[in-house]
Structure 1
Amino acid sequence: MQGKEVSNDKPVPAPPANEKIASNTQSNTSQQRMLSWFARVGISPSMLSPDPKKQKHALERRKQILETQKASNLQAVLNIALNVSINEQTSDNLDPDWFFAFSTMAEEIYSPPMQELWGKIFAVEVARPGSFSLRTLQLLKTLTHRDAKIFNKAVNVASRKNSDTVPRILVGYHKRKGLFSFLKKPLPEQVNLASVGLSYPDLLSLQEMKLIYASEIESGEYAEGQQVTWRCVNENITLTCKTAGVALVYYKFTPVGSELYKLVTKSSNEAYLQALKQVLGEVFNIS
């Protein structure tokens, strides 16, 4: 005789009422955000009526909203540019093709921090035409505020030599191995950039955005006693080579990255400077 199958399944208790309320609240909040964002481009869930007249009115209203927003974007960029102080100016005229390309791109910049960057670009270009290429503008238009923050982190650890316009992120050195070098305790030859705020994913993003070159670069070898001075944000660092056969290792900014570097507000990364001096101090006297 077969026995009846006994089920061990227990009924699943209903979620507490407060969890239901929290879930509904989160859902409503998300929906409100969605509606708010689409309202900024003139779209609502029921905007298109079967009535042709109402539909035409809704589409015209959407067009007006978009055009008003674009005009507002350009106005914001202009107001920022008017408040930028440029010391050196030339008598050259702004290229009309550059200006109209600029305005077409700038009208679609909606983030206030990015509008500030575009305003600075326009002010500099008016004062010194030819400072920024259209290629730079085209790349800049694809950057988000998050991208700009990553680039700012790179700028804060970038250095330039005297009379050199191309910034570089110094990361360490390479030393030609001597005959008895294997007897010495190995020393760190590079700064861990992630430990000072510039992570490996950040570097990859900068490379993908074509703001820095994709691989590390070595300088030429320094002779013993040879000096070189770098400026990192507001600090000058003079390196005097202790021994021959030493080369600096760095990431180099691309031409576009070098142009944008001039616009970004810089602040010293003290952790990076200390780490760099500690690493380079093995092969350079630092002053």
Structure 2
Amino acid sequence: MSTPSNKSSQALTVKSSQHTKDSASSPRRSSKQYTEAIAKLFSINHLITESEECSLELRTQQREQKEREVQQVNLEKILKIAYDVSTDDSANMPDPDWLAHFMFIAKNIYSVNMQALWGRVLKKEVIAPGSFSIKALNTLKNMTKKDAYAFQHACSLSCSFGTDQGKKLLTGAINQKMSLLVIPRREQSKLTLGQYQLPYHELLSLIELGIIHNSELESGAISQYQALPLNYQNQHFKVLASNKMSTFTYYRFTPTGNELAHLLPVSKYESYQTDLIHLLSQYFIIESS
């Protein structure tokens, strides 16, 4: 059975076996050689290679020309991706200001994996203008490939409960029992998200990007009498509290996080679902619906 991590790799990684072979067979290069290669790539190697004398103006023109050419290639690749994943469904032209902002950012997206995300953004925006805010575009611009992997893992662990369809990361449950001294005795059970490929440092990165709110929250008391709907990756449950003082703990996606979550193909973590249901069963009555 394919695991979510395997599917994540398939969704976000374009494998290049030839590149791997070339890397293995090519001699190791020094930092000096890489610095020189970078300088040549951006046409700013004049002082390093002591090339034939040409004016500063001409060197500037050469650099700017090369930069514009690469940006043109980036945009062409992203538009081709958007075209390839589009269908003949009814669509509309995005807002001109949004489109201008999209192009301004997209021209500087060089990674093949991130270009694929930007292509899907444009496709979804054409189908439903207003799907992605300019704030969401700015957030996506700041995401690295590593951030995208972490976000995909977070989406695969996310659920929704109650009437709010916003995505949440359930992390545990709290049960408070009255003692003989009428002082509530607080019991808490937690899941460690790092066990499911979302370590805490990656969660912090998503918080810093503004994709997830920066504090763990506690729900209101779950009812003993009216079932609370809980949806995890299209599997539906009904939850009733065993007593009147039981709650969930969770991290909540921001509005930007919920917008961007529609970009990534996700699948459920069977082990996370099993462990989550086992944990919640200590304090709640869980039924599949």
Q: Report if TM-score (shorter chain) is over 0.5.
A: yes
Please name the residue that 1:189 is paired with.
189
- The CA deviation at 1:203 is 1.7
- The residue number in structure 2 matching 1:101 is 101
Separation (CA, whole Å) in 1 of partners of 2:277 and 2:207: 25
Q: Distance in 1 between matches of 2:88 and 2:37?
A: 43
User: Which deviations, in whole Å up to 9, do the C-alpha atoms of 1:206-229 show, x marking residues without a partner?
Assistant: 111111111111121112143223
The equivalences for 1:137-148 within 5 A come to 137-148=137-148
What one-letter code is carried by the residue in structure 1 that aligns with 2:209?
M
Report how far residue 30 of structure 1 moved. Answer: 3.8
- Mapped to 1, the partners of 2:133 and 2:235 lie a distance apart of 29
Shift in Å at residue 199 of structure 1? 1.3
Specify the code of the residue in structure 2 equivalent to 1:154.
A
Give the alignment of 1:126-275 within 5 angstroms: 126-161=126-161, 164-179=164-179, 189-275=189-275
1:117 alignment partner AA: L
Contact kept? 1:74, 1:107, Cα under 8 Å: yes
Query: d(CA) in 1 for partners of 2:37 and 2:268?
Result: 39
Question: Following the alignment from structure 2 to structure 1, what is the Cα–Cα distance between the partners of residues 178 and 87?
Answer: 51
Distance 1:129 1:29 in 2: 48
One-letter code aligned to 2:39: F
Maintained 8 Å contact 2:229/2:238? yes
Aligned to 2:77: 76
Higher strand share: 2
Structure 2 length-normalised TM: 0.79
For 2:14, the equivalent position in structure 1 comes to none
Question: Whole-Å Cα distance in 2 between the matches of residues 156 and 181 of structure 1?
Answer: 43
1:111-162 per-residue CA deviation (whole Å, 9 max, x = no partner) reads 1111111111111111111111111111211111111111111111001247
SS state at 1:154 partner: helix
Q: Distance in 1 between matches of 2:181 and 2:209?
A: 39
1:13-162 aligned at under 5 Å gives the runs 26=28, 28-44=29-45, 45-46=48-49, 49-52=52-55, 55-85=56-86, 93-161=93-161
Report the secondary structure of 2:44's partner residue. Answer: coil
Question: For structure 1, which segment, 203-212 or 155-164, has the greater mean C-alpha deviation from structure 2 after superposition?
Answer: 155-164
Aligned residues: 257
Partner deviation per Cα, 1:249-273 (whole Å, 9 max, x = no partner): 1100001111001111102222221
Give the superposition deviation at 1:49.
4.6
**Secondary structure at 1:229's aligned position in 2?**
strand
Q: 1:283 to 1:81 in 2, by over 3 A?
A: same
Q: Which runs of 5+ in 2 are unaligned?
A: 1-26
> Given that residues 48 and 58 in structure 1 are in contact (C-alpha distance below 8 angstroms), is that contact kept between their aligned partners in structure 2?
no
Q: Give the 3 Å change call, closer, same or farther, for CA 244–96 of structure 1 in structure 2.
A: same
